[in-house]
Amino acid sequence: MSPQKAAGALSARERGVLLVLCGAIFLEGIDVAMLNVALPSIRADLGLSTGSLQWVMSAYVLGYGGFMLVGGRAADLFGRRRMFVCWLLVFLLFSGLGGFATEEWMLIVARFVTGVAAAFMTPAGLSLITTSFEEGPRRNKALLFYSGTAAGGFSIGLVVGGLLTSVGWRWVFFAPVALSALILPAALAFVPRQPRTGREGRSIDLTGGLTITAAVVLLVLGVERATHTSVAWTAGTLGAGLAFLVAFVVAERRAASPLVRLGLFRNAALVRANLAGLLFAAGFFGFQFLVVLYLQELRDWSTLQTSFAMIVVGVDAVLSPLLTPRLVNRFGNARVILGGLLLASLSYALFLPVGADWTYLAMFPSLIALGIAFSLAYGPLTIVATEGVREEEQGLAGGLLYTSFQFGAAIGLSTVSAVNVAATASTSPAALLGGYRAALWVPLAAALLASLVGAFGLRGRPAAAVVASGGSADQTAEIPVSR
């Protein structure tokens, strides 16, 4: 291996590929964030009820989370470049159609299809990275840039969404169209056609695809709607989801060419990464939701003020490609992940005593700590979840990870909402504050559980691995790290 490759340096072609794929994950993040900010304006303009507004969000989550595993496997079977480009085009079209919606059903359908498009596009993009860059320093460097861009898209989307909504909420749908229209030709130019493998072109496991999609859709739906419907409806939905999950496992055991090879779950590091990712996402999104409620409901901050307050969490967009590779190079993925999870726990703990008149400086330590925690945990979790996986299953590994993140986000949001509602006795400022304080224990508990899961990674077998930190091959020592 040349010194340049050992140091993790990327060629011009590889930088072009990485730019395209980072642009796509940035697009997905900014699309979700901008819509979150625009929801009140959409409700006022279209006259939507709270339940209808919830379905606008749920439609995307169901499409995204429900089809992620199928999307990841489709990338492995039918070609990653093909799946990425085709579904990027679908994303472009239906994101734009959402901006023309005049009825709630039009908006809900547009968001559902956009979510399905993201479910196919996102794991295809991740697997393009993990198969285009050889495992080790160069792949890790690419993945850390990729993860930083994903988080940066969400953080920047909060501010851009506030600005666009002040002009007109329809622009939050049209802006992603403009961005994806730039990414699409770049993808055709830079992303190379990959050589066919023995699995490409084979038919997908239809029974497995139908049962796992039904299972994930029902489970996500049950969790996300738990605070908006009866206990019986929630129990029935979750029960049906679990039944489909059992049917999926039975079908995969019998399938000659399964959608998900169950032996993949013998990879302990992959299982830990997915479980830790699920819990981390639950805490992260639940906490952000509570902070937004606190600032807008109790403190009466505007959407734009709230967006600027939260943008500090996006510091990970800078730290992920600059600081995290050096830390992983020195301490290994497992230790960096654990450090990030513990720092997230500290962030949530610092916010527990939140007061009715806290200044932004009082909130800042918690928010900046969360941004640093994300930079330490998210990228290395992505590395571990795809490391050591067969090339022909990289799309599936990416689909599993993103499904875990999405399901975790749904659990976190539903749980903090339920606790907040239960603990809020009235609409008085004191009661609202009490509800927030009670619900803040949920992200803390999720982060502590994630830290416990992450701690088991320290017991893994040592492996010689390094991450590029800008040195030469001779300067980069082989360090035993725990996966």
d(CA 480, CA 189): 39
Structure confidence at residue 57 (pLDDT): 78
Structure confidence at residue 467 (pLDDT): 39
Rounded average pLDDT per 10-residue block, the chain, 483 residues: 50 84 89 82 81 77 85 88 93 91 90 93 91 82 84 80 86 90 90 64 74 86 79 91 92 84 88 95 91 88 84 85 88 94 97 94 96 92 90 87 87 86 88 94 97 86 39 33 36
d(CA 44, CA 39): 9
Closest residue by Cα to residue 280 from 367, 373, 366 = 373
Structure confidence at residue 441 (pLDDT): 97
- Tokens, residue 241: 């989801």
Contacts of 4 (CB under 8 A, 6+ apart): none
Q: pLDDT tens, 252-309? A: 888 878 888 888 888 999 999 999 999 999 999 899 889 988 998 899 988 788 888 8
What is the 3-state composition of the chain as percent helix, strand, coil, each rounded to the nearest 5?
80, 0, 20
Instruction: List residues bridging with 462 in a β-sheet.
Output: 482
pTM: 0.83
Instruction: List the helix and strand counts (H, then E) for the chain.
Output: 19, 2
d(CA 102, CA 107): 8
Structure confidence at residue 5 (pLDDT): 47
Burial 101-111 (b: 16+ CB within 10 A, else e): beebeebbbbb
d(CA 79, CA 57): 30
d(CA 139, CA 127): 11
Structure confidence at residue 2 (pLDDT): 45
Structure confidence at residue 440 (pLDDT): 96
SS (H, E, C) 170-222: CHHHHHHHHHHHHHHHHHHHHCCCCCCCCCCCCCCCHHHHHHHHHHHHHHHHH
